[in-house]
Structure 1
């Protein structure tokens, strides 16, 4: 029962769940490394690779897609040089696609750092938005 809570705390402290963290968690909870890895790799909120300081979640839900979320994906690729699922070389940003962020009235929209919603986006707005996150 406590594995998910321990992994969540470990990810908050380290930023992701590298093998050495998984080994420590397995030893501490008396589990096999395979059991811990299975949970880490199953749940999408756990990351096995380093993430950027700022996470940009691009909504790919129906409303955002219809209103042009793909242009935001393309713009971020041009500005940051990365595609969804990747992190910038300077570890500043990680970009990901998500199903729906619940901001359909603001489509197309992104959430940055799981808290800041930016909506009614156009490619022209993106540079100024990115500047807010150092």
Structure 2
């Protein structure tokens, strides 16, 4: 971990645990175990206690996110419009469950309480794109778009001719 992160906070002061965890996650994209151990030592807590805090709050991640983060809305409007079927279809298509990342690190699947787009329920958000009034039949086509984009990046990296 960057010492500059630790240096922002006084040592042996547990009151800074949450901001420290937030800064480390901002730096790495998640909370690696080695960094949790360093934080525990720095603030004077056990690793188990720090791990407990990191797993208690759902803002923290212990594994890296995939390149494409899929968020399936499970709010009331989406629930009524069968978002459970959408979630199941995505899980089946990717071979993962909500909260997991594909082995190739291309997709992370999450559920959210509400995306805030109830008028176009059911809604799925992938990165910055929203898919409203989505149907199960559309899932393979939508996911293949992201798979193709990644394949193109691998085959034709920027700066390589």
State the match for 2:134 in structure 1: 121
Give the secondary structure class of the aligned counterpart of 2:30. coil
Deviation at 1:28, TM superposition (A): 2.8
State the match for 2:21 in structure 1: 7
State the match for 2:68 in structure 1: 54
State the match for 1:39 in structure 2: 53
* Number of equivalent positions: 133
**TM-score (normalised: structure 1):** 0.84
**2:76 is the alignment partner of 1:71:** no
State the match for 1:89 in structure 2: 103
Within 2, Cα distance between the matches of 1:52 and 1:11?
15
**TM-score (normalised: structure 2):** 0.71
* Structure with the greater alpha carbon radius of gyration: 2
State the Cα deviation string for residues 75-132 of structure 1 (Å, max 9, x = none).
Answer: 212321112122111011111222212211111012223x433211112333343324
Instruction: Give ranges in structure 2 of 5+ residues lacking alignment.
Output: 1-14, 151-161
Is the helix fraction higher in 1 or 2? 2
Deviation at 1:64, TM superposition (A): 0.3
1:53/1:12 Cα in 2 relative to 1: closer, same or farther (>3 Å)?
farther
Worse-superposed segment, 90-99 or 9-18: 9-18
1:9/1:127 Cα in 2 relative to 1: closer, same or farther (>3 Å)?
farther
Greater RCO, 1 or 2 (C-alpha within 8 Å, sep 6+): 1
